[in-house]
């Protein structure tokens, strides 16, 4: 099941009795805080929910279809 930020904000809005704008700000603040923690500490663990970490993804061959330049790089993913 996929839940979007909008759905989370709507659920907060309905259950918490806040304004829709406040609910959206709460959801955005939560995900911003998660993002900052992962970037600074390279790992975040939420009890009874999950563990998020940054890892390096292996380089793979690729090509930019417009410039035809080879694009092979290592990248980091959560």
Residue 61 pLDDT: 81
Residue 43 pLDDT: 87
pLDDT tens for each residue of 15-66: 998 899 999 999 999 999 998 988 888 888 989 989 988 888 888 888 878 8
Residue 57 pLDDT: 85
Does residue 74 register a pLDDT over 90? no
3-state helix, strand, coil in the chain (%, to 5): 45, 20, 35
Separation between Cα atoms, residue 12 and residue 3, nearest integer Å = 13
């Amino acid at each position: 099941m996929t839940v979007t930020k909008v759905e989370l904000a709507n659920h907060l809005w309905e259950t918490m009795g806040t304004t829709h704008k406040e609910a959206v700000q709460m959801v955005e603040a939560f995900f911003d805080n998660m993002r900052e923690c992962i970037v600074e500490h390279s790992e975040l663990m939420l009890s009874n929910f999950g563990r998020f970490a940054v890892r390096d993804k292996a380089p793979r061959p690729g090509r930019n279809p417009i410039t035809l330049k080879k694009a092979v790089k290592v990248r980091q993913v959560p």
